[in-house]
């Protein structure tokens, strides 16, 4: 048995998310079909994270195992890219130890959320950034964001529908950077709750437009009550940028 690690980029616009769903077009489903054609086996594909419909990836990671001894790394890279649709690309293939699992072996993830802050939306970036029409105070957002860094119970920022054993997570980094008309939120953590990144960004945008204060954000975090937080930012501004394994 052999184990291959895939690093994957995709435009999530026309996908119903990562995970296979009956009757829906998904990234995992496309990879499964391509691997079945390439290997002749019904090969499960394990992903590092289940991105939602409309969410993009620059560095999603997956792995699959196969009994095929005649497959090289190059065969997998070139064969997969020839078989999958053009809104998915395999960036890198590595043969790894059998103990490696894309999700279970991960130690952290980097997500980025891209906001366009301008008077008019971009036609070119309409599916790859969130146009926010209101002026934003970057200093206030950064003050509020600092309160999220560290180990906290993020229940106030978990969407309903995905219960977890614990809602405590460690957010190692939350940086907010402005460049021209765009603002990038970069978040690094040991794990993220369902729609947590988008809920954090939505709340910080409310602070930036003056609808919330940094002091209110601290109270929302402590309250463990999702109804107090800001809206969930839409999926098309979100990118799974990198998965960490050390």
Q: For the chain, how long is the longest CA-to-CA vector?
A: 60
Establish if 167 belongs to a structural domain: yes
Please compute the mean of the pLDDT values over residues 74-84 and round it to a whole number: 97
Establish if 142 belongs to a structural domain: yes
Q: What are the beta bridge partners of residue 92? A: 7
Summarize pLDDT for 116-137 with one digit per residue, the tens.
Answer: 999 999 999 999 999 999 999 9
pLDDT tier for residue 196 given thresholds of 50, 70 and 90: very high
Decide: 21 and 204 in contact? Cβ < 8 Å.
Answer: no
Q: How many domains, the chain?
A: 2
pLDDT tier for residue 163 given thresholds of 50, 70 and 90: low
* Residue 124 and residue 167 in one domain: yes
- Which ranges in 96-195 belong to alpha helices (H)? 138-145
Q: Which residues are catalytic?
A: 52
Please compute the mean of the pLDDT values over residues 16-25 and round it to a whole number: 96
Q: What percent of the chain has pLDDT over 90?
A: 96
* Residue 38 and residue 132 in one domain: no
- Whole-angstrom Cα distance, residue 78 to residue 124? 29
* Residue 194 and residue 158 in one domain: yes
* Residue 134 and residue 39 in one domain: no
Establish if 58 belongs to a structural domain: yes
Final residue in a domain of this structure, among 52, 69, 96: 96
Token pair 């026309």 in the structure block, residue: 14
Could you list the residue range(s) of the whole structural domain that residue 133 is in?
Answer: 112-238
pLDDT at 189: 98
Establish if 66 belongs to a structural domain: yes
The verdict on pTM exceeding 0.85 is yes
């Amino acid at each position: 048995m052999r184990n291959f690690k895939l690093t994957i980029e995709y435009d999530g616009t026309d996908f119903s998310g990562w995970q296979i769903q009956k009757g829906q077009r998904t990234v995992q489903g496309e990879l499964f079909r391509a691997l079945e054609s390439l290997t002749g086996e019904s090969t499960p594909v394990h992903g590092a994270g289940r991105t939602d419909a409309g969410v993009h990836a620059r560095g999603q990671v997956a792995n699959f195992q196969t009994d095929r001894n005649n497959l090289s790394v190059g065969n997998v890279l070139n064969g997969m890219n020839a078989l999958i649709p053009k809104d998915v690309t395999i960036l890198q293939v590595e043969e790894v130890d059998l103990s490696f699992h894309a999700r279970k072996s991960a130690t952290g993830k980097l997500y980025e959320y891209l906001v366009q802050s301008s008077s008019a939306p971009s036609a070119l970036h309409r599916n790859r950034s969130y146009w926010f029409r209101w002026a934003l105070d970057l200093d206030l957002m950064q003050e509020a964001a600092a309160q999220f860094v560290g180990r906290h119970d993020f229940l106030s920022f978990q969407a309903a529908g995905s219960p977890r054993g614990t809602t405590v997570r460690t957010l190692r980094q939350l940086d907010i950077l402005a460049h021209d008309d765009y603002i990038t939120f970069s978040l690094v953590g040991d794990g993220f709750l369902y729609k947590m990144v988008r809920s954090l960004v939505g709340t910080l945008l409310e602070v930036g437009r003056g609808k919330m204060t940094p002091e209110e954000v601290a109270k929302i975090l402590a309250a463990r009550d999702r109804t107090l937080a800001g809206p969930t930012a839409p999926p098309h501004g979100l990118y799974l940028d990198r998965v960490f394994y050390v």
